[in-house]
A = this chain, B = another copy of it.
Amino acid sequence: MSKPYELTATEAIRLIQNRELSISEWVSSCFSRIKEKENVVKAWIYLDEENAIKKARELDNTNNSNLLGIPFGIKDIIDASDVPSGLGTPFYENNIPARDAASVAVAKESGCVFMGKTVSTELGHRAPGLTTNPHNKNHTPGGSSSGSAAAVSALMAPICFGTQTTGSVIRPAAYCGVIGYKPTYGDFDKSGILPNSPSIDTLGLISRSVEDISLFRSILLEEKLVEPKRINLKKLRIGFVKTPHWNKTDISTQNKLESFIETLRLEKFDITDLNIDKLISKADKLHVDVSGYEFKRSISYERFNHYNELSDILRNGRLSDGYQVTNELYKKAIKEVQVLKNDIDTVFNNIDLIITPSAPGEALKGIEYTGSALFNTTWSLCGNPCITIPLFRGDQNLPIGCQLVTKFGSDNQLLDYAKSLFELYLK
């Protein structure tokens, strides 16, 4: 039998309901796993073990099957009450919020067990923490949701919260060989999460099964679970989008994705080579202006009070971009984003599902650079739901994700497609 920490949330809950596992055993098992692996993976910045174990025991005693007991971790730029919010910096050790982020409050209310805070890059931007890739400690886990992706990949937690402004959920999940899901913009609340670029920022989920994503989505929406369905993928109109950045992907990503698409075509899937390069290039440009301008504003306190403690990558990166953008240019960009969103919406009138790389390749060697978000910018800016599923392995034997994208608002369909494709490919 699997050890409890190896289970997905959906599997563990089934065992708990059959009285073959207790919530305490599950939670304790996750913390044991952390003790075993954390030394190398360094996924966590704060562990709340004592309270988590206490909460798990209380849940076992209530015997209320509506209280699910799922242990979860949250990225360090997300607030939990009475626990330090370091925001991925060394200067916020004493920042202890009085309130849970709304998403954390909702998860706790449904009986989920808060485990602690996972490593974030600096202020959710690019300067990395110490986390390593669980598949090879000499490689980056990706970022900015580095610790969340690594913790789930290393079987320390079944699910963790991440956030995405460019590629900060999809990329680390792909690099760490797990599932990363960024919902439709606006679906998950962001109260109590450090804003980076509020018109783009999205709370996302990282897990090891599509069912767990659906389950946690229902928890955060406070709605009845919509279970992902196995559907006939041959009925879908699928667009394969190489993007203008295809030549920046490594050879193994190109080969794996192309041969996967070829296999599906041979099996009579309806797949079009979809060229939306112009829209993607437009999104890339607009994303720089909008995210730069908004980021510069959001971190004003740090800009003025901790400038010398900020990394060069932040000061010379998005912050510097932000200083180039006037309010007039920003508002012009915001209007153009609206036009772009409509254009992307129109693309999905003729396409049910886009398949595209999750990242340019396997996780890069070294932990200094969290990798490129070239394949994520458009979907972040336009707010489309997307998910990465770990379908391939590259030349360095590291995971390669496959990104699926659907129309704005079609999250349940996306999860159906992801489940179906994942199961099909693993069969």
Q: Which residues of A contact B (CB under 8 A)?
A: 81, 92, 94-106, 108-109, 184, 186-187, 189-192, 194-195, 198-199, 221, 223, 294, 297-305, 326-327, 330-331, 334-335, 338, 409
Contact = CB atoms under 8 A, between A and B. Distances in A.
Contacts of A108: 304
A374 to B, nearest CB: 26
A373 to B, nearest CB: 22
Contact of A191 (B105, B195, B331): B195
A94 B98 contact: yes
Contact of A187 (B106, B299, B327): B327
A192 B97 CA distance: 12
Given A98-B95, A304-B105, A191 B297 contact: yes
Contacts of A300: 100, 102-103, 105-106, 109, 189, 191
Contacts of A330: 186
A105 B331 contact: no
B186 A299 contact: no
10 contacts: A81-B301, A102-B301, A105-B300, A105-B305, A106-B297, A186-B199, A186-B330, A187-B331, A189-B297, A191-B299
Number of copies: 2
A121 B115 CA distance: 35
A191 B221 contact: no
A94 to B, nearest CB: 6
Nearest to A189: B297
B331 A409 contact: yes
B102 A189 contact: no
Contacts of A335: 409
A252 to B, nearest CB: 38
Contacts of A221: 327
Contact of A294 (B189, B303, B304, B331): B189
Nearest to A190: B198
A46 to B, nearest CB: 15
A51 to B, nearest CB: 15
Contact of A331 (B95, B184, B194): B184
Contact of A298 (B191, B199, B294): B191
Contacts of A198: 190-191, 198
Given A186-B199, A189-B300, A304-B108, A327 B95 contact: no
A189 B334 contact: no
B298 A189 contact: yes
Nearest to A101: B301
Contacts of A190: 195, 198
Contact of A102 (B94, B98, B298, B326): B298
B186 A105 contact: no
A297 B102 contact: yes
A223 to B, nearest CB: 6
Contacts of A104: 301
B299 A102 contact: yes
